[in-house]
């Protein structure tokens, strides 16, 4: 039987999600890769247990995570049932709908039909009565934003999610969606955009909107899918995301220019007494508006490494200037 580490809340830091009462760990764990049926269940289970033992209370999913789609939710459902049934109230579980999930016109997008039926399916796979946060995964030009936001509102009122959020909305789209949800008094507390040293689009307006609206920001792929770690300093390991089957990171992306930047950034990390992954996480968390960074992992040791970022989150002016020079 799994018994969680008694000291799990001693080191992790927690930040309020915008102006809401909900706090999230500064590092959350995402189940996009390495938690589906194609990977080893025992490894997935060990990673979830270790994360929780280290104070990571938040696990992020979506309907389509796997592969196959839905299997990450099924596996987490099994792990929750086996190991975490007495810890449900210490966990924040999120899911999403928006990308392709099932055949036909109702299996993707932003319609009320899709969002509500997809969450019903997710709850079955997870074996839960409710998720803590449910997101519209991606804006849908073919659906009026009012319809998607009213669906999120209905989901909360039906008791299927405690809070809602939006993901991948740009600054203008986010402002409009948040405006509708505020009018409805729906507890929309969070936006989930991508953000890392290699992908800085949210600095150009979105962070400001979230600050003004008092919403939290949880950033995904803060390690640029593993590029901002020690994984690719010396070639492409076979057991890495780029070396494997994932269609989201390919070998061409690991070119000479990228590797040169990674090596220079790694030197700054070494000078700071951190791993490159830890520095990349500290760097996204330097914004007070960023509530949490969702990391992925393929093994327990990566989670153990990443959480140590909390020991050194601040940067000197000089370090920030050196980093800017490399990222130019």
Ligand X SMILES: NC(=O)c1ccc[n+]([C@@H]2O[C@H](COP(=O)([O-])OP(=O)(O)OC[C@H]3O[C@@H](n4cnc5c(N)ncnc54)[C@H](OP(=O)(O)O)[C@@H]3O)[C@@H](O)[C@H]2O)c1
Measured from the CB of residue 220, what is the shortest distance to ligand X in angstroms? 3
Of the candidate residues 122, 289, 291, 302, the single one contacting ligand X (CB under 6 A): 302
Please state whether beta strands 27-30 and 290-295 pair in parallel, antiparallel, or not at all (unpaired). parallel
Question: Binding ligand X by CB under 6 A: which of 27, 32, 163, 274?
Answer: 32
Question: 199: which strand partners?
Answer: 196
Please say which residue, 237 or 321, places its beta carbon nearer to ligand X: 237
Residue 85 CB, shortest distance to ligand X, in Å, is 23
User: CA 319, CA 315: separation in Å to the nearest integer?
Assistant: 6
Q: Which is nearer to ligand X, 180 or 294 (CB)?
A: 294
Q: Helix 112-126 to helix 145-157 angle, to the nearest 10 degrees?
A: 40
Element (H, E) at 159: none
- Contact between 192 and ligand X (CB under 6 A)? yes
Q: Tell whether residue 231 is a contact of ligand X (CB under 6 A).
A: yes
Residue from 18, 25, 30, 107 binding ligand X (CB under 6 A): 30
Check if the beta carbon of residue 215 is closer than 8 Å to that of residue 202: no
Smallest gap, in angstroms, from Cβ of residue 162 to ligand X?
A: 18
DSSP conformation letters of 17-45? -TTSS-EEESEEEE-SSS-STTS-HHHHH
Judged by CB under 6 A, does residue 274 bind ligand X?
no
Q: Which is nearer to ligand X, 196 or 321 (CB)?
A: 196
Nearest to 26 by CA among 282, 213, 215, 197: 282
Instruction: Write the burial class of residue 108 (CB in 10 Å: 0-12 exposed, 13-18 middle, 19+ buried).
Output: buried
Q: Between 16 and 299, whose beta carbon lies closer to ligand X?
A: 299
Based on the shown chain and the rule CB under 6 A, indicate whether residue 224 belongs to the binding site for ligand X: yes
Candidates 230, 236, 272, 315; binder of ligand X (CB under 6 A) is 230
Q: Binding of ligand X at residue 222 (CB under 6 A)? A: yes
Least distance from ligand X to the Cβ atom of residue 82, Å: 21
Cis peptide bond prior to 130, omega within 30° of 0: no
- 186 vs 278, beta carbon nearer ligand X: 278
User: Which residues are paired to 218 by β-bridges?
Assistant: 292
Which of 29, 121, 23, 120 is closest to 71 using CA atoms? 121
Q: Is 64 an interacting residue with respect to ligand X (CB under 6 A)?
A: no
Q: Which residues bind ligand X (CB under 6 A)?
A: 30-33, 60, 137, 167-168, 192, 220-226, 229-231, 240-241, 277, 294-298, 302, 305-306
């Amino acid at each position: 039987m799994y018994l969680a580490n008694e000291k799990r809340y001693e080191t992790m830091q927690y930040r309020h999600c915008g102006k809401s009462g909900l706090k999230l760990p500064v590092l959350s764990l995402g189940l996009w890769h390495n938690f589906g049926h194609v990977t080893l269940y025992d490894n997935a289970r060990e990673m979830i247990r270790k994360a929780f033992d280290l104070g990571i209370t938040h696990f992020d999913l979506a309907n389509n995570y796997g592969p196959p789609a839905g299997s990450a939710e099924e596996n987490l459902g099994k792990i929750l049932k086996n190991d975490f049934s007495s810890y449900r109230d210490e966990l924040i579980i999120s899911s999403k709908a928006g990308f392709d999930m099932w055949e036909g016109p109702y299996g993707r997008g932003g319609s009320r039909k899709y969002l509500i039926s997809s969450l019903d399916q997710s709850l079955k796979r997870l074996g839960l009565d409710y998720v803590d946060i449910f997101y519209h995964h991606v804006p849908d030009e073919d659906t009026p934003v009012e319809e998607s936001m009213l669906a999120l509102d209905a989901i909360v009122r039906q008791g299927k999610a405690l809070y809602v959020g939006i993901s991948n909305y740009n600054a203008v789209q986010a402002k409009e969606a948040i405006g509708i949800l505020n009018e409805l008094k729906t507890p929309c507390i969070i936006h989930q955009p991508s953000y890392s040293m290699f992908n800085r689009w949210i600095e150009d307006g979105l962070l400001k909107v979230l600050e003004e609206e008092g919403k939290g920001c949880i950033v995904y792929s803060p390690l640029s899918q593993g590029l901002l770690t020690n994984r690719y300093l010396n070639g492409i390991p076979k057991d890495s995301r780029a070396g494997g089957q994932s269609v989201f990171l390919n070998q061409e992306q690991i070119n000479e220019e990228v590797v040169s930047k990674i090596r220079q950034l790694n030197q700054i990390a070494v000078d700071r007494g951190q791993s490159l992954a830890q520095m990349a996480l500290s760097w996204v968390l330097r914004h007070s508006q960023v509530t949490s960074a969702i990391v992925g992992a393929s093994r327990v040791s990566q989670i153990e490494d990443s959480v140590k970022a909390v020991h050194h989150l601040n940067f000197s002016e000089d370090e920030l200037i050196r980093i800017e020079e490399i990222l130019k």
